[in-house]
Amino acid sequence: MKYYSTNSKNKFFSFEQAVMKGLADDGGLFMPEFIPSLPKEFFANIESKSVTEIAIEVSKQFIEDEIPQTKLEEIITEAINFPAPVVELEKNLFVLELFHGPTLAFKDFGARFMAKTMGYFAQKENSHLNILVATSGDTGSAVANGFYNTPGINVYILYPKGKVSKIQEQQLTTLDKNITALEIDGTFDDCQRLVKSAFVDSELTSKLNLSSANSINIARLLPQSFYYMEAYKQIPDKSLPVVFSVPSGNLGNITAGLLAKKMGLPIHKFVGATNKNDVFTEFIQSGNFNPRASVQTLSNAMDVGNPGNLARIVDLYSSSIEDIRNDIYSATFNDEQTREAIKEVYKKSNYVIDPHGAVGYLALQKFLKENPNQEFTSIVLETAHPAKFKDVVEEELSIEVEIPERLATCLTKEKRAVELSFDYNSLKEFLLSF
C-alpha cells in the first residue's frame, strides 16, 4: 500500500514515510492509494471477533509488511486495551461510549496506536523525532499520555489559552520528561495554522525532524475506523439501516467512519453534528467551503473553523458534493440547545451525556424527524466522559458527576506550560532554541 498527498497524486510514499512525516511537503494530507475492501465473511462473522482481532485485520490492509505481524499485534494489544461499549438509550437508539481509555476521550484510540507505531519506526531507524500537535481539548491529553516517556520522541502540544476546560488543561500540562505544553494566545485554528506552517518551513525542517500527531496524521486516523466496526458488532438487530451521528470538529472522526464504510461496513448514513462552528454543515448544505475564525462553545473539541480533514473527505468522493451528501447529513446547534439536550437525554433515558454527545444527539434527532417513514438503528458517538465537563453537566442536571480516579489525580498536579503568541516566529524561535 502506497500513500499520496491530497495536493498531488503524482508522488507516492510508504506507510512509514506518511506516518513519520505527518503532513506532505506540499501541505497536503496523506491518503492511501486505494481503500481496500474487506471480505463479506469478515462482517458476517464480526460478532465472533474481539476489538483486537478487528483492529489487526483492518490495520494489515493499510500497513501490509511494513510492520511485522507479531509486532503489529503487540502494538494493537497494548494500545487498545479498553472497551468501546454500545449502550441502549431506547429502542433502536444507542450511544457508543468512546471514553474508557486512559484520558477518558475517543482520542485514546488513535493517539495510543500512533504513539506505539511511531515509536517502533523511530527505534528501527534509530532516529529522533519532534512531534507538533494542535489541540482544542482532548487530543492534547491523549497524545501526551500516549507518547509519554517514549524514547527518541519529544512532543510539543499547542493549545488555545483559556479555550479548553480546566480538567482538559490539567491533563495536558501536568506531564514532564518528553512532553511540553505550549499555551498559545489564540484559537485552535491558530494552533493548527502554526503546526502546518512549521511543516512547510524548510529552514526549520532542515534542522528538526518534525511530525504531527493530529488527525491529519494517517496513523491517528486509521485506528478510529476500528470502533465503528466494534459498534456494528454489538448492534443486536442488524436488519435495519445503520446511522452514526458524529460530533464533528476537525473531521477526523467522521473521515475514519467513511473509511470503514468504504471498506465494506454496512453504514447507511453519517450525521455530521456541529456546534456554532458550522463550517462543515454549511459545506454539506451549500457545497461551499468558507473557513473562518472559530468561536468558543461548550463542546470545545469541536471548535474548529477550518477543518483539516475536509480535504480527505473531498478526495474520497472525487470532489463530488452530491456523492458526499448521499453519505453525510449535517446539522448545527448552539450552546443553549446543547444544554437542553443534556437534560432531555437524562430525563428520557437516565443517561448522563457530555456536551459533544449532546450535539450528536440533537443532529440525529433532526435527521430522524426529516426521515419519518423509515426505521433506523441509530448510534451517537459519545466522545468524552461527562466528568471532563463537570460544571456544565452538574449545572444542568443538579446531580454530582463523579470524577474517575485517573482524571482526579491530574487535578492535584502543578501546571507546566510555556506561553507563546499566535505569531509563527515565536513558535519557530522556541523550537530552534532546542
Half-sphere exposure of 104 (CA within 13 A, CB side): 20
3-state class (DSSP) for residue 432: helix
Report how far residue 229's alpha carbon sits from residue 400's, in angstroms, rounded to the nearest whole number: 33
What is the number of other CB atoms lying within 10 angstroms of the CB of residue 418? Answer: 13
Which amino acid, one-letter code, is at 146? G
> Cα 20 from chain centroid?
18
> Which amino acids are annotated catalytic?
107
Residues in the chain, total: 434
Cα–Cα nearest to 316, from 328, 308, 324: 324
The side-by-side arrangement of strands in the sheet containing 153-160 is: 210-212, 129-134, 153-160, 179-185, 418-421
- Give the orientation angle of helix 138-147 with respect to helix 107-125, to 10 degrees: 40
DSSP 88-102: EEETTEEEEE---ST
